[in-house]
Amino acid sequence: MSNPVLVEVFRGALVESRHHGAVAVVDADGATVLALGDVAQPVYPRSAVKMIQALPLVESGAAEKFGFGDQELALACASHGGEPAHVEVASRMLARAGLDGAALECGVQWPSHQDSGRALVRSGAAASALHNNCSGKHAGFICFACAASIDHHGYVAVRHPVQREVRGALENLAGVTLSEDQCGIDGCSIPTFAIPPAALAHGFARFGTGRGLSSERAKAAARLRAACAAEPYFVAGTGRFCTEIMKVFGPRVLAKTGAEGVFCGALPEQGLGIAIKCQDGGTRAAEVAMAAMIEKFLPLSDTERGALSCFLRPTLRNWNGIEVGSLRPATALQL
C-alpha cells in the first residue's frame, strides 16, 4: 500500500518538494478513526515513544523515591535542545541517585539549540553526554535501575533489565509483541523496535486516557502527561514544535517528535492517539501533519486556531529574512 502526499513545500508559485507518509488516528478501544497510507507497516518510533519509555520510572516508584517533579519527568520524556536548563535538570536527576553525567551511555552530542552551543564554546567547556538530546530519558533509565537495585551499567543493551521493562511497557500500550528481528539501534544506543503506526496510535490513545491499562500504569501515564503539560519547555526547548504546541494547548495535546519523520501524540479529551511517519524521514512534514491532526480533531478557539496556523503552514524565509515559500498540508490532510 502506498502512502499519499501529506505535505507540499512551496517556493514561489510552484511545489518544490513533497513528502509522502502514513497517519493513524485510533481511539483507546483500538478503533481506527483515520488511516492515511500504510498504517500497518512497522516503523521505528525512535524518540516519539519516550513518554511510554518513561512509564517504568514512574510506575516503579523510582521517580517518587528521588523526589522528581514536573521538570524531571518532562525531561525524562524529552528530545531536548541541550540548553543550560535541560543540562541542569539531567544532572540533578543523576545526582539524586548519587551519579553524574559519566553514567550516561547515550554518547556526546553538541546542543542542537544553536545559541546554547555557541555559549558552550564561549565558556570554554566541551559538549558532553548531558547535552545529548536524550540525556533526560537516559537519566530516567539509570534512576529507575538504581531505585530497583539493578546494576545500571550497560542499561542501553536490548536484554538489560531496564530495556526489558521499557519493552514490556511498549508491548502493553501498543498491544503488540516486539521482536528483536525488527529492532534497530537508536541514535542514543538503546533499542528501537518497529511498530505499525496504527498500533502506536492505539498506544497513545491508551497513554492519553489510561483506558485499558492497569491502574498503576494509568496513574503513571497521567503523572507524565501532567508533567509534560506543566513543563513543556523541558520536553523539547526554545521554539520547538512539541514545546510550543503544548504551551498553547496544555493537557489537551500531547505531542512528541522522533527522528526520521515520526510523530506521536494524543488528544486526551477526545480519547484519541495519533501516529505519523513521513516516509522520507522529513521532520518538517511530520510536524505539519501533526498540526493538521490537531486542527481536525480538537475543537479550537479563534486564538488557538491562530496559534496553530504557523505550525500548519510554516513560512520559509531565506538568509535575508525574505519570505520565499511555505509548507502546506496536501489534499490528503485537508479533511
Contact 7, 325 (CB under 8 A): no
Q: Which is nearer to a copy of itself, 107 or 212 (CB)?
A: 107
At 65, which helix (H) or strand (E)?
helix 62-65
Q: Which is nearer to a copy of itself, 35 or 119 (CB)?
A: 119
Q: Which is nearer to a copy of itself, 12 or 67 (CB)?
A: 12
The distance of closest approach from Cβ of residue 242 to a copy of itself in the complex, given in angstroms and rounded to an integer, is: 20
The distance of closest approach from Cβ of residue 241 to a copy of itself in the complex, given in angstroms and rounded to an integer, is: 18
Contact 36, 52 (CB under 8 A): no
Q: Which is nearer to a copy of itself, 11 or 159 (CB)?
A: 11
- What cell numbers appear for 125 in the block? 567547556
Non-local CB neighbours of 273 within 8 Å, separated by 6+ positions:
25, 26, 27, 28, 200, 201, 202, 203, 204, 205, 206, 207, 208, 264, 265, 266
The distance of closest approach from Cβ of residue 107 to a copy of itself in the complex, given in angstroms and rounded to an integer, is: 3
- What cell numbers appear for 119 in the block? 555559549
In the DSSP assignment, the letter for residue 158 is T
In the DSSP assignment, the letter for residue 2 is P
Quick count: other Cβ atoms within 10 Å of Cβ 40? 13
Backbone angles phi, psi at 229, to 5 degrees: -70, -35
The distance of closest approach from Cβ of residue 23 to a copy of itself in the complex, given in angstroms and rounded to an integer, is: 16
Non-local CB neighbours of 146 within 8 Å, separated by 6+ positions:
62, 97, 98, 99, 152
The distance of closest approach from Cβ of residue 248 to a copy of itself in the complex, given in angstroms and rounded to an integer, is: 27
In the DSSP assignment, the letter for residue 213 is S
Contact 113, 81 (CB under 8 A): yes
The distance of closest approach from Cβ of residue 197 to a copy of itself in the complex, given in angstroms and rounded to an integer, is: 13
The distance of closest approach from Cβ of residue 302 to a copy of itself in the complex, given in angstroms and rounded to an integer, is: 32
Which positions touch a copy of itself (CB under 8 A)? 9, 11-14, 16-20, 42-44, 105-110, 114, 117-118, 121-122, 132, 181-189, 192, 194, 260-261, 279-282, 285, 318-322, 324-325
Instruction: Give the HSE-up count for residue 174: Cα atoms under 13 Å, Cβ half-sphere.
Output: 31
Q: Which is nearer to a copy of itself, 170 or 228 (CB)?
A: 170
Q: Which is nearer to a copy of itself, 182 or 334 (CB)?
A: 182
Q: Which is nearer to a copy of itself, 33 or 176 (CB)?
A: 176
Q: Which is nearer to a copy of itself, 219 or 284 (CB)?
A: 284
- What cell numbers appear for 13 in the block? 508559485
Burial 72-108 (b: 16+ CB within 10 A, else e): bbbbbbbbbbbbebbbebbbbbbebbebebebbbbee
The distance of closest approach from Cβ of residue 257 to a copy of itself in the complex, given in angstroms and rounded to an integer, is: 15
